[in-house]
Amino acid sequence: MRQGNDALVLILAGGVGSRLNILVQKRAKPAVPFGGLYRIIDFALSNVMNSGISRVGVLTQYKPLSLMRHLADGEPWDFVGRDRGITILPPRTGEKESDWYKGTADAVRRNLDYLEAHPVREVMILSGDHIYRMDFNAMIAFHRSKKADVSIGMMVVPRSEIHQFGAGIIDDNNRIIDWEEKPKEPKTNLASMGIYVFDYKYLIKTLKENSSELDFGSDIVPRAIVQNNVFAYPFYGYWRDVGTIQAYWEANMDVLHRNGISPQDWDIHTNVCSDRHYADRPPARLGSMAAVDTALISAGCKINGKVHNSVLSPGVVVEEGAEIEGSIIFEDCIIRKGAHIDLAIIDKRVEVGAGAVVGAGTNYKCVNRYKPDHLYSGISLIGSEVVIPEGFRIGRNCVVNSSTQKVVWPETELKDGESLFFEK
């Protein structure tokens, strides 16, 4: 490991990430499982670790329990030691106005005491939502060489996607000279990755002086561009904001196909012992009837059926004659005999009854009626701990919510684009 750079890292992990639909019903987006064994926040945490930085605050707000269990004492990322540590920074009462975090900058401002207790040269502010590998040391070196007040990690994205991001225009020296937050008609294709290096004193000063500014992207950066030195740190490589079901599914498939991303080669660490010993299990068992090809299989799986083009978390059981295709299955699901799963994301501890079908038919284009912008390519979602009855058929773009309420299943099938038990 390289010498640390004496930076303090704040990871913003409080957002709802509501477009991930039922995957964030009971957990924050950074805690959503990814790539079989990992959770989304592991990428940010491992990048920090692999850059030799060892003091981290994680700002939480939305459904933080799963995330907090996962972070534990930070040992998996080597954050335990005299000068190393990970601190959960939840919202707290005792401030003047409403106490919830109202935006990214507001969240950091409410933790000024934490910042002031850890004097450093630079503060890095990251999102806990993104899948990427980045050397933050190099970014800090860039920041210093430019004598910048703020440096922003930026990368080129397709013009059609720029409306989701902050977009910047730079001069020959990489200095950002113009900024649009989520532009409808973009003038550039250079997008902010939500990764900031701030000069420590500058950050404290700017947060104190402009207390009405709630968000980095919408408030602080546009003003700083005019008044101060803001630079774009160019990033080339794999980076995904897996904020939508489609993007989430595609990024998982990228891991499977080694399509620009390999968590193991990237030295991504996770906490295998969190959450009821999530991944602390014996080796996977492939039975005499197992037919597994192009699949990621985690420890504790027991497979005696067919698995193709899919990602399986720990402890998934696939019985004889069952088939899984193009799907992502979370921990401890049981796929009973003869069940078929095609193009689905199945949350943890789901039981798919014998002969049941998830992803029936070929009506991929029949969008979800309730959330057409969430499910439109054929992917169906099953919420955690749902028990799908024997022989039941679930179509395309369907959602079965996880629910402890009494379940009233339709007679034989859930038609394409329909949802079951959606929240009020």
Partner 1 sequence: MPKSSTLAMILAGGRVDELNVLTHHRPKSAVPFGGFGRIIDFSLSNLMNSDIWQVSILSQYRSFSLINHIGTGAAWDMIGRDRQVLVMPPYQGANNEGWYRGPADAIYKNLDYVQYNKPEEVLILSGDHIYSMDYQLLLDYHREKNADITMAFTRVPKDATGRFGIGMLDDADGETGGRLTRFWEKSAEAESNWASMSIFCFKPEVLYEVLQKAQDQDWHHFGREIIPALLQSNCKIYGYKFNGYWGYTRTINEYWQSNMDMLGDNPPIDLEKWTFRTNLNHRRICDNGPTLIAGGGVATNTMIYNGSEVYGTVRNSIIFPGVQIKKGAVVENSVLFFGNIVGENCHLNKVVSDLNNRFGRDCTVGTTGDYKKAEVTVVGWNNVIPLETVIGAGATINPQLAANRWHKEVGAGEVLE
Residues contributing to the site for partner 1 (CB under 8 A): 35-38, 76, 256, 262-264, 267-270, 272-273, 279-300, 311-312
> How many angstroms separate the CA atoms of 281 and 417, rounded?
37
Beta bridge partners of residue 126, listed in sequence order: 11
Supply the minimum distance, in Å, between the C-beta of residue 362 and partner 1.
Answer: 26
Token duo for residue 248: 């989430």
Q: Closest separation between CB of residue 266 and partner 1, Å?
A: 9
Minimum CB separation of residue 310 from partner 1 in Å reads 11
Q: Which is nearer to partner 1, 247 or 286 (CB)?
A: 286
Min dist. Cβ of residue 273 to partner 1 (A): 7
Please give the biggest Cα pair distance in the chain: 68
Whichever of 117 and 291 has its CB closer to partner 1, that residue is 291
- Nearest distance in Å: CB 47, partner 1: 15
Of 144 and 308, the one with the shorter C-beta distance to partner 1 is 308
Q: Which of 82, 406 has the CB closer to partner 1?
A: 82
Instruction: Name the minimum Å distance from CB 281 to partner 1.
Output: 7
d(Cα 151, Cα 94) in Å, to the nearest integer? 32
Nearer to partner 1, 232 or 297 (CB): 297
The Cα–Cα gap between 26 and 180 comes to 33
- Taking alpha carbons only, the member of 11, 21, 415, 12 closest to residue 247 is 21
φ/ψ of 330, rounded to 5, equals -80, 180
Considering the complex, state which of residue 46 and residue 244 has its C-beta at the smaller distance from partner 1: 46
Q: How many CA atoms lie within 13 A of 49 on its CB side?
A: 20
DSSP character at residue 155 = E
Q: Would you say 160 and 210 are in contact if contact means Cβ atoms under 8 Å apart? A: no
Residue with Cβ nearer partner 1 (108 or 255): 255
Question: Could you tell me if 326 and 309 are in contact, meaning their C-beta atoms sit under 8 angstroms apart?
Answer: yes
Which phi and psi (to 5°) does residue 136 adopt? -70, -25
One-letter amino acid at 179 equals: W
Q: How far is the CB of 311 from partner 1 (least distance, A)?
A: 7
| Smallest separation, CB 302 to partner 1 (Å) | 9
Strands 190-199 vs 33-34: parallel, antiparallel or unpaired: unpaired
* CA gyration radius, the chain: 22
Type and span of the H or E element at 161: none
Question: Which CB atom, from 38 or from 179, has the smaller least distance to partner 1?
Answer: 38
CB closer to partner 1, 94 vs 282 = 282
Query: How is residue 45 written in tokens?
Result: 């945490």
| Token reading at 215 | 């968000």
Q: How far is the CB of 312 from partner 1 (least distance, A)?
A: 7
Other beta carbons within 10 Å of 184: 7
